[in-house]
Amino acid sequence: MTYSIVARDKESDEFGVAVQSHYFQVGPVVPWALAAVGAVATQSMVNISFGPLGLEYMRAGYTAEQALKALLAGDSEPDSRQVALVDASGNVAAHTGSKCIPAAGHRTGDGFSVQANLMEKGTVWDAMYEAYLSTDAPLAERMLVALEAAEAEGGDIRGKQSAAMLVVSGKPTGRAWEDRVIELRVEDAPDPLAELRRLLRVKRAYMAMNDADRLADQGNQDDAATSLQQAMTLAPEMVEIHFWGGLGMAQAGMVDAGCELMMHAVHKDRRWIETVHRLVAADRLPADLAQEIQAKLTAKVS
């Protein structure tokens, strides 16, 4: 009782799945993806095993179509299932069983599939298809636009409750936990897609902050500053970004400018000043620099 999208991005080789449903905690159930292998969405009268098994079939060399046939052949109620897969070559396969609750259907495109069941209208999956194709954005944002198009078309006839998104890297490391580039879940909310979009924005901000840290460690302060500014622009409400970004600036010798950023956090909660002191105990910050920072921050709030 869900609408979802599975997709492979041709440029980045990322795989992704995004979903919304009137169902508590849809995230652990529908979306499955593995870098360099593929992605699966399993829904309707859901057989959760289709997710991990579908990935295992594709990792063993099955195409999406072959994996789909194997899944359905081993299932006791294939007519009640809805499932879609995309493999490492971008091949797509989807199935909407004859006993899925109407309106139910799917539509496949080049490297992606959209599917839905128990919808208000039978036009939901076409709306998702067109929205995905008409959007020029990174994979996560494109999938979210497809979900928003589904909701605008009427969505789940029961309403809305939870949403989730999973994107895995196009450059696998062999460590699956590191390859999960974006993993967001809205377990229960009045407007799950609005919350999912907010979380994606915040996630992008933290990704930019991590880029800033990496660039600073490489001695590229100009590009680090650009990435940090991007992070703060994306999520100005996240004072932690200001704190750690400012601390990084202070460590790079820009103490005054760094403290100005850190004050965004301190104005929210003065305990951030004590946090500076705690970093010394963990050998994360030299004691003399910590004292200088604490003195400047304390003076600004006095």
How does DSSP assign 159-200, residue by residue? ---EEEEEEE-SS--S-HHHHEEEEEEE-S-SSHHHHHHHHH
Q: Specify the pLDDT at position 53.
A: 98
DSSP designation for 298: H
Nearest-angstrom CA–CA distance, 167 and 169:
7
204-301, CATH topology level: 1.25.40
Residue 70 and residue 79 in contact, taking contact as beta carbons nearer than 8 Å: no
Q: Report angle CA 218, 223, 228 to the nearest 5 degrees.
A: 100
Tens of pLDDT, residue by residue over 32-83, are: 999 999 999 999 999 999 999 999 999 999 999 999 999 999 999 999 999 9
At 116, list the tokens. 């839905």
- Domain chopping of the chain, boundaries: 2-188, 204-301
Nearest-angstrom CA–CA distance, 172 and 83:
25
One fold for 2-188 and 204-301: no
Tens of pLDDT, residue by residue over 256-279, are: 999 999 999 999 999 999 999 999
What dotted CATH number matches 2-188? 3.60.20.10
Nearest-angstrom CA–CA distance, 122 and 167:
27
Residue 159 and residue 23 in contact, taking contact as beta carbons nearer than 8 Å: no
Single pTM value for the model? 0.95
Per-residue pLDDT, averaged over 12-24, amounts to: 97
Tens of pLDDT, residue by residue over 144-167, are: 999 999 999 999 999 999 999 999
Q: Specify the pLDDT at position 146.
A: 98
Omega before 103 within 30 of 0, i.e. cis: yes
